[in-house]
Structure 1
């Protein structure tokens, strides 16, 4: 299927092709995607970014059956979705984490053609709890009647300098533990969404059999992808007023530097995980001019729809 997303793509490459440090090992099965929003009338297009969030919000906070019931009822869908969202996070570092989850879901759906088999915001134990485990869980239908599993991490940071990168690696390390992977697999096979989303009954059974608790986690590691969205405040973007070649080149250079630093840290800290080299990692970088402006507007919109 064609990859379609309404943002400019500055980098879409395997890390091995852009690696600045050939001594790193293993550097294969690692990819970098750099996305940027555009500008209008000399300003970054906040309204376009907010529209992307709200166009995709039902994917994260409503089950497949709820979405089917609300077909052609867009306002009702937004009201229902907003009621499943928490307004703020307990700590400043995590502020905006649900917003980042929604952006990742949109990227997974529109760019990677993924099926949202476990809408994590919907499946929280209650409206005040963070989703347990991965921030997103998707299945991508591959050629030859096969599939891949995508367990995503989504962060919204004021900075993506080195100190912040360590917290992401800790989170990924936790999510790749066998116990956590088995838990995610059991959620996938026990919710009804997979039956509605995977039309091919033979493939649906194949997925459930592969994710059965009786199967070894080792056998599915080659099917696992970890998309890591780093939505981040960026001084380069803050200082720009148009999609110039200079702006794009600055972002490309910055994101290459951050990708190199991130994967170096990840290899050092996670390389001992059994069959680590067979797991595919996708670092997704998306700069914004002001985290506060985006989070404040998002919270304002959630409050509006919650009151409907």
Structure 2
């Protein structure tokens, strides 16, 4: 893949949950909202919305048609302001670009109608760990204006999704959607089999959490500089601390807490919607 637009400004794998903060920076004093959307649509929309086999078949002759098909599968409505697909797309792209993850299934691909919303986790990816085994990454993404509201919402989602019954239903739904052409299908089916103890599965689960919110820091600056980076990190670590404080102390999964601050959440959402509509007519 080509170079990502996002830049990791800070990360810490020594703390729990682990922490990373990303940004897109500025160009000629303008925060790069359009570039953010353009980058994720160009490089990640197809792998986000299509099945593995369809995605891998794309070539120079079919690229435009594939983007149009992918865009149409996300949604086809002007009532988009509370939908979560763009946050899910951002999480998907970050996992691919920075964590070596690949999608196990595209939940959007299997929706009955384009305007349905996918249930369960916002991302279902795998990462080959240091021992050569598969870890299953089940992600949550929140695209909000207010940081604290986003944190409260994501913690509520995590608590809801951690029950044994919910996990078993989610594993069944995931397993029914595997693409037989995907190289990891048999290993993941074996891991998620009903006869595999949840104790074993939980040891192989990782939960990436993407927090996207409207940043006071970004609006204070008009270029990337050392004070900007320092302030952005302080703001993001405040979000991390709030998240950690709200998370149950005995939460059983490893969490990667990923922060993507925005200058204007509504503007990013509107740009993404306009771009999606244009791609549908390619």
TM over 0.5, yes or no? yes
Alignment of 1:162-181 (within 5 A): 163-181=149-167
> What's 2:112 paired with?
125
**Aligned-pair CA distance for 1:90:** 6.1
Give secondary structure in 2 for the equivalent of 1:118: coil
> What's 2:97 paired with?
110
Q: Give the Cα separation in 2 of the matches to 1:71 and 1:176.
A: 40
The match for 2:75 among 52, 62, 86 is 86
Whether the 8 Å contact between 2:5 and 2:36 is mirrored in structure 1 is no
**Unmatched runs of 5 consecutive residues or more in structure 2:** none
Whether the 8 Å contact between 2:4 and 2:39 is mirrored in structure 1 is no
Whether the 8 Å contact between 1:118 and 1:187 is mirrored in structure 2 is no
Aligned length: 278
Whether the 8 Å contact between 1:227 and 1:281 is mirrored in structure 2 is yes
Alignment partner of 1:68 is 2:56? yes
Q: Give the Cα separation in 2 of the matches to 1:267 and 1:7.
A: 31
Alignment partner of 1:196 is 2:181? yes
Distance 1:15 1:280, change over 3 A: same
> For 1:26-47, what per-residue CA distance to the aligned partner results, in whole angstroms no more than 9, with x for missing partners?
xx4x211100112111111123
Whether the 8 Å contact between 2:137 and 2:205 is mirrored in structure 1 is yes
**Aligned-pair CA distance for 1:86:** 1.6
> What's 2:227 paired with?
246
Distance 1:300 1:130, change over 3 A: same
Whether the 8 Å contact between 1:225 and 1:280 is mirrored in structure 2 is yes
Alignment partner of 1:302 is 2:280? no
**Aligned-pair CA distance for 1:295:** 1.2
Higher mean C-alpha displacement, 227-236 vs 69-78:
69-78
Q: Give the Cα separation in 2 of the matches to 1:90 and 1:13.
A: 38
Q: Give the Cα separation in 1 of the matches to 2:105 and 2:49.
A: 10
> What's 1:6 paired with?
5
Alignment of 1:148-159 (within 5 A): 148-159=135-146
Structure 1 residue ranges, 4+ long, deviating more than 4 angstroms after superposition? 87-92
The match for 2:173 among 170, 187, 191 is 187
Q: Give the Cα separation in 1 of the matches to 2:54 and 2:103.
A: 13
> What's 1:223 paired with?
204
**Aligned-pair CA distance for 1:262:** 0.7
**Aligned-pair CA distance for 1:307:** 3.3
> What's 2:46 paired with?
58
> What's 2:24 paired with?
37
RMSD between superposed Cα atoms in Å: 2.0
Structure 2 length normalisation: TM-score? 0.91
Q: Give the Cα separation in 1 of the matches to 2:186 and 2:281.
A: 42
Structure 1 length normalisation: TM-score? 0.84
